[in-house]
Structure 1
């Protein structure tokens, strides 16, 4: 996304910042362009931010922008649903190389992401099953964290140590996940899932705009296969592979391999995958052990030029197998057991 800033007082521009206008209020970029093109040649209509309610109109000439501002600012526009537009000049800020590298295309299928061990199955559960699962988790007790709510079954995940206490078992997994476990074991696309007895479940509830920091699930805490079922709302999950595994100096044993300020480190590969509701994600092998995964803290996601507003909530069911003993994976640079 190009970055635009407010110009100095009295300075004109060929770009206009237009508020109360955008996909989130039911106005496509094409519909917006059809109105503004009456004032001159338009180079493009761009999202001004992630809200979906503000756009940038880029004209070829300053005179066209000035005419559009004088005619439309604060005036109800019949062609745009009678909305009163709030318009001001905007300047294109020079783009640095770091800003260019911050852009990452979003894939729809795991095969397009091309990370070994990463799988995504769309419509893993039906809409009715999704509703039943949400009702089941909402009947149980939530634990509040700083920005989201969680539930733990089998073993509790300890966020201070980023691990589980294998000596403190909470009991069997809840019955509402039994059909999911049976379905996992029956899909050959999930490799050797039929041979794994998953015994830990974390339910996360994400409000709009809340994501997940970049991290690798602690190697010594869980076995290879990690399943995550998305319910109620979509999101984009980004994957990052660091040259050194993403470890900070002097990482304590049994902690997650995590980068506190990943944007400051340009030495990584980035890929992104769109997770629609009712889809099942599997991270295994390299995808599980060597790639950080994270959910951007956005209220609006852009997928193939389509703006998607996050739902009022997104609930994920993450199923794992607690590891007993050290990890002996093929990625020692990322492994807390081997560092």
Structure 2
């Protein structure tokens, strides 16, 4: 069955609240749920016009309501308690689905977005879905919201362990802020799960940066400074989703602006997922979050939530980097310039 072309509702109110259509992940035939069963479960919030596959995976659907109020009620209820008893109590990821914006129309400058890290075919990049539970997500967000934020130009940040200096893109290893807070233990104790994904390096993480991104705010393309951190960087996405694009240039450096030499790949990061950057993916590929409010994922438009909060865990490097990618390495560039 093909996915209908949904129209964005018109009106003078917040358009997020006017959408009649919901994107629902972890829900579909591939996880043992028929479209009729899904429709029946979602009728508790209003009249369902139809349920359609969101993509070819069979585990993501579009639930289309007769009116926007029903869709808003379902989203609000499932955001607070993201499961339905009639669907076996599965944890669902729910977002509005909207009309494709002109800037993301077919034929524009876009890149295919993958759902699994293995599809990227970039060595050293891994993704684990549902790394924390909805309850842990709520507790983590409450913990950081109870602490002071530092405002940057377009987002807010908190630093633990060591402060990351954006002006020099590095840390002062002689100014430790303290240990990582106890409220992230539920995250750090699960880091060893990545050893089952061929990332066997055991490191003691000692730096955490928490970023809060309002809707529409992204991240400029960059490679984390080699001399600042060790090889494994872990980024947990909470509250909202986004896509992350990876860029590499066919030339000898990351400063070649010739678009014909640019390789681009992207992955969808749902809430509660943990991304690992290591090896080539960490040292030689830029990562980037586009600055827009709607992401195109497998021909489905997913509106970002009002905020996305990322917890990025790293290990501060105490000496020069000696990686296998000298053309991108600030430590080894200094050696060559001496």
Distance 2:8 2:218 in 1: 28
Quick one: distance in 1 between partners of 2:189 and 2:109?
40
In the TM superposition, what are the counterparts of 1:174-189 in structure 2 within 5 Å? 174-189=181-196
Alignment of structure 1 residues 109-258 onto 2, 5 Å: 109-192=116-199, 195-244=202-251, 246-248=253-255
How far apart in 2 are the matches of 1:187 and 1:237?
19
Change (3 A) 1:201 1:122: same
Asked if residue 314 in structure 1 is aligned to residue 304 in structure 2, the reply is no
Segments of structure 2 that go 5 or more residues without pairing to the other structure are: 1-6, 22-64, 69-101, 334-338
Is 1:229–1:317's contact at 8 Å kept on the other side of the alignment? yes
1:20 counterpart residue number: 10
Change (3 A) 1:18 1:224: closer
Alignment match, 1:285:
279
For the Cα contact (< 8 Å) 1:186–1:194, is it kept in 2?
no
Query: Is contact 1:193-1:225 (8 Å) kept?
Result: no
Corresponding position of 2:269: 275
Aligned-CA RMSD value: 3.0
Match of 2:89 in 1: none
Aligned partners of 1:231 and 1:315 also within 8 Å: yes
Kindly tell me the number of residue pairs found equivalent between the two proteins. Answer: 249
State the secondary structure of the residue aligned to 1:277.
coil
How far off its partner does 1:265 sit? 3.3
Alpha carbons of 1:245 and 1:280: their partners in 2 closer, same or farther (altered >3 Å)? farther
| 1:186–1:19 Cα change, 3 Å | closer
TM-score w.r.t. structure 1 length? 0.67
Structure 1 match to 2:79: none
Q: Give 1:112 shift.
A: 0.7
Q: CA deviation at 1:185?
A: 2.2
1:185-243: per-residue Cα shift (whole Å, max 9, x none)? 24423545562001100000000000000000000100000000000000000000112
String of CA shifts for 1:105-138, please: whole Å, max 9, x gaps: 1000001111100000000000000000000111
Contact 2:126-2:275 at 8 Å conserved across structures: yes
Shift in Å at residue 180 of structure 1? 1.0
Q: In structure 2, the residue corresponding to 1:209 is in which secondary structure?
A: coil
Q: Distance in 2 between matches of 1:245 and 1:152?
A: 33
Partner of 1:317, secondary structure, is strand
The structure that has the greater radius of gyration is 1
Q: Which runs of 5+ in 1 are unaligned?
A: 1-16, 29-78, 83-91, 249-258
Instruction: Quote how far apart the aligned CAs of 1:247 are.
Output: 3.8
Which shifted more, 270-279 or 100-109? Answer: 100-109
| 1:322 positional shift | 0.5
